[in-house]
Structure 1
Amino acid sequence: MIRYRNIVVLAILIGLLSSCGFRRKKYENPITKDTQQPDKVLFDKAIKDIERNRFEVARITLNTLINTYDTSEFMAKAKLAIADSWFREGGSHGLAQAEAEYKDFILFYPTLEEAAEAQEKVCMIHVRQMEKPDRDMKHALRAEDECRNLLVQFPNSKFAPRAQQLLREIQEVIAEGEFRVGSFYHTKGSNPAAANRLQALVDHYPLYSRADESLWKLGDAYSKMGPRFRQKSGEAYARIVKDYPLSAYADQAKQKLVALEMEVPEADPVAYARMKYELENRQKPGMMHHVWGIFRKSPDTTMAAKSGSPAMTSMRPTLPATVPTGEEGGAGVSAEVTVAPVSGPSALDTQPDARQRPPEQPATPAPKQEKKR
């Protein structure tokens, strides 16, 4: 009994010591140069403070280095360390400050190797704040933009493969949000709205894990919108057969195409290989994963694709298929505005000026008749 009590006391003591700052998380970008230069001494002192979570003290030391030794060779490292201190501190305020510092670092030192790392940290700032697909998509959209910027600005960086996978996971969350909206419209019976959402989804995010189901609902929505959309319905079913040959909806899509008297396409070998790879490498969440998912704020990205090129443009709102366009026989709605001079007499020329018309006299009230007594 005494032995177990000692173990519990020791565990509590270790927890208290770790929470009081004795646990150190090693800094990722130290300076390995062994020198006793005063600016290097200040930098090393600040790094020790960052590792011990004394972020405010570390930033004061780093600002002293920057202001005192403005020609120091460690200037760039000091600026990056300030941003890292805000990133480690966390919280909405700390992450906002970290993003501003990282952006400044990229602006001043775009050719350094650490610039790609700074851009990757900016992406991670918004990934950390992402919420579930049915919540606000602000941080998911920002994370998508920042990860895309990393791939565009630093394509040969060692952080590019990681950013590409992050982008696939972010787009999985965005696509899931669009799919839920489209499915809601489909279940409700608002087929034009469902078709508009699902069409934009499958066109922009083909790597989405439920793209085949989206195409199935898209084809069903088009089939319920009348014979004018028969071709679009068949195209949706044909994409399932061609681009998602291992889908559970592939056989049903073939039957739909036969019923529509449309050609059944052959499966794309590249799409077949990619889908096979995804199914073999897909991480299956356990039972407790679903249980704790209720209490988790961050989205679930276990179903995100592991291969393929993510979309490099943002998804834009599309025009519903039921809205006529000018390309359809020239009978569409035109938004063109033209300016032309007025020819011939107008109402201003033929009618008298209303401002010169004398005001009408009020009607004289009739005299009151006296009541007979």
Structure 2
Amino acid sequence: MPRREAMGVRRNWLACLTALLLVLAVASGGCRRRRYENPITKDTHQPDKILFDKAIADIERGRYEIARLTLQTLINTYDTSEYLAKAKLAIADSWYREGGSHALAQAEAEYKDFILFYPTLEEAPEAQMKICMIHYKQMEKADRDQTHALRAEEECRQLLVQFPNSKFAPQVEQILRNIQEVLAEREFRVGSFYHTKGSHAAAANRLQGLVDHYPLYSKADEALWALADSYGKMGPRFRSKHIEAYTRLVRDYPLSPLAEAAKKQLLAMEQEVPEPDPVALARMKYELEHMEKPGLLSHFWGIFRKSPDVRMAAKSGSPTMETFRPPLPATVPAAATASGGVTAEVTVAPVTDSTALDTRPDARRAAPASKPESGAQPEARPPAPSKP
């Protein structure tokens, strides 16, 4: 066989193989079926059940718009159906599976409606869990917009408060720790910037709020070290806070690489070195044993990843259940009380003396000033200037 003909046959064979692989890929993608999480296992041939099963089959095959039309038909036609709650949940799930910012916003609204109308159903915690995941999946890095991180934190806390005994509670606690790791990282970067710049008052304000609100943060020991250094450079007025920061570092983070240096600082200031907290010691040992090691290319690929890296987030401990509020700066003096018994406070009390209105009338109704005596001459006024 000539060489050109052999090359032509080889090219045709490669083209056919490529076309076959493309056909198989399209066919497998079109036939892919992801099973629905909340099906109805009851075997019946009622018309509303038939509509529900048809919609679920469309959801599993990615035909979300058709599934929503079918479910809406079920809701409008059979308003007393026993599958009404499941149908509303399936509509929300179809939006959730579809993905995209618009679809996820619709899914959140549908899930909230489901929880509002059916708060006692066993699917209600799952709906709240998915609301949390909607924002968690859209969460960005610590140096980016934190809108979704704050919303995810709020929705995860809502699940732990409203459904504390749910099977999703342990998973949501870990998600909440991951979220707070990102929020704390943002505060740490801002505080470190001020500390490096030399704005120690601003750094102390940021870092103080960080260590008070996010004690499970993976770099809380570094934050305490920078906080102590900032207070130390702010003058003798903040000596107590300077000592307190080193004390917390030694007591609450005993396995930190900075713990020994903090002990030396306390001894240099002739202060007592505290004993490590046994609970904090056990927690840090657990964190070291369960630390996730980064891969060889994780740092490289992290540059191109939109979502934050939460591998260093705590794996144990109770996450903070309150919204972060920036503290009052330490350089702002406390409000002083007015001296001399004069204050700006206004108090309201019931009237106990019924004759007060007669004996102590309102000043606005007091008698006008007395008129001058008849013999007295009124004070002369200067003449008005004449017009030219």
* TM-score (normalizing by structure 1): 0.87
Aligned pair 1:290/2:299, yes or no? Answer: yes
Mapping 1:305-316, distance limit 5 Å: 305-316=314-325
Q: Give the drift of 1:58.
A: 0.4
| Residue matched to 2:56 | 47
Letter in 1 for 2:26: L
Aligned residue among 92, 109, 122 for 2:101: 92
Q: Which blocks of at least 5 consecutive residues in structure 2 are unaligned?
A: 1-9, 348-361, 365-381
Aligned pair 1:220/2:229, yes or no? Answer: yes
Mapping 1:188-203, distance limit 5 Å: 188-203=197-212
Letter in 2 for 1:226: G
Aligned pair 1:28/2:37, yes or no? Answer: yes
Of 186-195 and 10-19, deviating more is 10-19
Q: Give the drift of 1:288.
A: 1.3
Distance 1:250 1:122 in 2: 40
Letter in 2 for 1:16: V
Q: Give the drift of 1:11.
A: 3.6
Cα deviation, 1:79-128, whole Å, max 9, x if unaligned, reads 00000001111111111110000000000000001000000000001101
| Residue matched to 2:262 | 253
Of 10-19 and 238-247, deviating more is 10-19
Distance 2:385 2:175 in 1: 77
Cα deviation, 1:130-173, whole Å, max 9, x if unaligned, reads 11000111110110010000000001111111111110001001
Q: Give the drift of 1:14.
A: 2.9
Distance 2:113 2:384 in 1: 70
Cα separation, partners in 2 of 1:165 and 1:335, compared to 1, 3 Å? farther
Mapping 1:347-358, distance limit 5 Å: none
Q: Give the drift of 1:243.
A: 0.6
Mapping 1:66-105, distance limit 5 Å: 66-105=75-114
Cα separation, partners in 2 of 1:142 and 1:226, compared to 1, 3 Å? same
| Residue matched to 1:12 | 22
Total equivalences in the alignment: 345
TM-align CA RMSD: 2.5
Mapping 1:1-373, distance limit 5 Å: 8-19=18-29, 21-326=30-335, 336=344
Bigger Rg, structure 1 or 2: 2
Cα separation, partners in 2 of 1:201 and 1:76, compared to 1, 3 Å? same
Q: Give the drift of 1:358.
A: 11
Distance 2:343 2:25 in 1: 68
Cα separation, partners in 2 of 1:281 and 1:4, compared to 1, 3 Å? farther
- Secondary structure class of the residue paired with 1:113: coil
Distance 1:81 1:358 in 2: 91
Q: Give the drift of 1:13.
A: 2.7
Cα deviation, 1:173-208, whole Å, max 9, x if unaligned, reads 100111111111111111011000100011011000
Distance 2:301 2:344 in 1: 55
- Secondary structure class of the residue paired with 1:157: coil
Q: Give the drift of 1:230.
A: 1.1
Distance 1:294 1:130 in 2: 15
Letter in 2 for 1:15: A
Letter in 1 for 2:83: F
Distance 2:385 2:218 in 1: 76
- Secondary structure class of the residue paired with 2:123: helix
Q: Give the drift of 1:210.
A: 0.5
| Residue matched to 1:350 | none
Cα deviation, 1:13-48, whole Å, max 9, x if unaligned, reads 3322244x3211111111111111110110010011
Cα separation, partners in 2 of 1:338 and 1:57, compared to 1, 3 Å? same
Cα deviation, 1:229-265, whole Å, max 9, x if unaligned, reads 1110111111111110000100111111111111110
Q: Give the drift of 1:292.
A: 1.0
Letter in 1 for 2:224: L
Distance 2:73 2:90 in 1: 13
Q: Give the drift of 1:12.
A: 2.7
Distance 1:166 1:296 in 2: 19
* TM-score (normalizing by structure 2): 0.84
